[in-house]
Structure formats: C-alpha cells, structure tokens
Amino acid sequence: MGCTQGKCCLPRPPGRGSGGGRGRGGATLGRAEVPGAGLLLEYATLDVAGLYPDSPGRESQDAHLVATRFAGDPDLHLFAVFDGHGAAGTACAGFARDALPRLLAAAAGAGSLAADPAAAFRESMLGANAEMHAAAGVDDFMSGTTAVAALVAGGALHVANVGDSRAVAGVWRAGRVVAEDLSWDQTPFRADERARVKASGARVMSVEQVEGMRDPESEGWVPDEGDPPRVWARDGLYPGTAFTRSLGDLAAEAVGVIAEPEVKSVEITPAHLFFVVASDGVFEFLSSQEVVDMVAMYQDPRDACSAIAAESYKLWLEHENRTDDITIIIVHIRDSEIGATKWTMVASEHQ
C-alpha cells in the first residue's frame, strides 16, 4: 500500500477469453535456459493500469523488469517489480527499474554479485536510492517506489525487497503446493519495523487516529480493516506512508523510512515449481497461499496472470470502489525432472 492518496480503480477486470476458454489478458510469455543448473524458466508478465475515479486516464505507477542472461551470464536471470507512489511515482518507479540492473551489472562485473549476492543487492538498492535523490528530473521528496527483485543464479534464487510488494514460491510438499514466502512486507504492521521507525522519531498511526476518531495510542490495527498504520513525522501530517522501506521518499528518511533491502536466498530444489513477483495490488486482499493456489491451477503462466489479476480486481471492488495498478511476473521452473513431474500432477488435479 502506498501513500495517503489511496488506490486506483479499473472499470472491468481482465477476464477469460478464447484459447481453450482461458484468456491471457495481455500477458506476455518468454523462456530462458539456466544451463549451469539444467533448468528451463518459462515466465509470463502482466501489467494493467488502474484508474482513479477522479483521474481518468491516469498512467500506471508500476514498472517491471525481466533481464534474461543478465550481465551476459546465461545462468543469471533477473525479475523485478517496482510500485511507485506519490505525485512522481511513475518517474520514481521507472528510474529504479533502469538504475537497479545497471548497478547490479556493475557488481556482477566486479565479481561481488557472485561472491555475496545479498551485499551486492544492498549496495545496488542503496545506490539507486542515492542516485534518485540526486537526479534532476525526478522529484522524490514526497514520492518513491517499492522494489522487489528475484535473481536466478544457477541453482539458487536470491530475492531483495524494499517495501510491500512481494515474492513467493510454490513448493511441492506432502502432495500439495505450499507457499514459501521469499520476501517480507515492510510495513508498520511489523513490530520490528514499527519500533525501528519510532526510534527515528516517527509517529505510527492510521488516518482515523490522526483525525481523532480512534485512540492515538492504540496499536490494534487489523489487516484489511480500515486504514492501515502509517508513518508520520512528529511535527506534521507527512509522509503518511503505509510502508517502512522504499526507494526515494526523501522526506520520509528523516523518520526512518530506509532503502536498505531485506534479502533471502534459497537453493532451487526439485520441489520448487514456480515463483511469483508482484506488486501489492495483488497481495492487498490475496494471501501468498491463495496466489500460489491460483498459479497451480494453470499450466500456462499467462493464464495464471490473467486469473490472478481478475480475482485481485474483484476483491478490490468488493472492499472499495477502486482498485490498484497490477503487475505480476510468474516464473515456472520447468526443467527439474521431479519438479516437472509434480507440475504435471498439480495441473491435472485442477483441470
């Protein structure tokens, strides 16, 4: 969830069409080999701009990146989603989309990406943040972007996250596909993040608390019920972010909103069937397990993208009269012998 301006609205969700009765909703498809690990990645991407009721024609503030054979290495493949917010959110997301791979490629060239992927991600995201602050054409004082990036590096998967977009894997366990979170949402709902920003001088309150409608000292926020807890300056009604880490948001840095990512690394096993990287427009009302369950219903990742977008929009419109921008990347891990067998079993069970 982004800044206090709220979310956006789409008049109709992407639906099912032709092609075996399952529309692909504009999703694109690609494939990439990982020769060092004997894997084949089959991926689909989908981005659908939302529309604010009061701002017809508003452009999407999401951006995404797919860079196969990253830095010229056939075993490196980068997938990332950026969710901008604020008046210059589109520019911030686009800037981060361009800066992050350039900085990571420099780390790859220096050998630090292979030696310490977590450190390389941290340095690159902090570098992108510093460059955004200094960029003449991007006003990030009260705008910024979240960023979640997944790097396939041979037989390993490294995920770096800043903000509340998310990455999750679908893993075959005990006869079913189980969600394995690859990132952690960084919001004031988390006690550790709440304590960290408070230590920097922030107030953490929902809009209702700021307006005096609820006890300002209460911390009994419930996800999906009312306005979420937000980060505020001690002496003003800004920045009002519903996340505790981001790229940009210069004004928010004074109250502890930082650009340092959390990084998780996992070995890709035969049980890893796929992973998803998506903006919080997907995860606002869908859990990681619900998203994984939907992906498991479709052998073609384009169909899964379309179905998840449609369900996300339906839920947005059930809870509010608007929706968010939606960006989804689904990556099937096809070329593991056991994983491929399990994938066929999963798909057949859902047909």
- Whether 222 and 274 map to the same domain: the answer is no
Supply the pLDDT for residue 316. 81
Q: Is residue 12 part of a domain?
A: no
pTM over 0.95, yes/no: no
Supply the pLDDT for residue 344. 59
- Whether 162 and 71 map to the same domain: the answer is yes
| Domain tally, the chain | 2
Could you give the CA distance from residue 92 to residue 60 in angstroms, rounded to a whole number?
12
Q: Is residue 87 part of a domain?
A: yes
Which regions in the chain score pLDDT beneath 70? Answer: 1-25, 51-52, 336-351
Q: Is residue 23 part of a domain?
A: no
Supply the pLDDT for residue 2. 44
Supply the pLDDT for residue 20. 32
Using left for φ > 0, alpha for ψ between -120 and 50, and beta otherwise, residue 281 falls in: alpha
Q: Is residue 351 part of a domain?
A: no
The parent domain of residue 276 ranges over 29-184+248-343
Select from 266, 269, 289, 282 the least CA-distant residue to 337: 269
The 10s digit of each residue's pLDDT in 211-248 is 888 888 888 888 877 889 999 999 889 999 999 999 99
Supply the pLDDT for residue 19. 31
Give me the residues paired with residue 42 across strands: 31, 332
- Whether 307 and 220 map to the same domain: the answer is no
Domain end call among 226, 242, 258: 242
- Whether 107 and 219 map to the same domain: the answer is no
Domain end call among 209, 227, 242: 242
Q: Is residue 127 part of a domain?
A: yes
Supply the pLDDT for residue 323. 73
- Whether 103 and 122 map to the same domain: the answer is yes
Could you give the CA distance from residue 342 to residue 280 in angstroms, rounded to a whole number?
29
Q: Is residue 16 part of a domain?
A: no
- Whether 111 and 54 map to the same domain: the answer is yes
CATH classification at residue 82: 3.60.40.10
DSSP string, 55-100: BTTPPP-EEEEEESSGGG-TTEEEEEEEEEESTTHHHHHHHHHHHH
- Whether 80 and 129 map to the same domain: the answer is yes
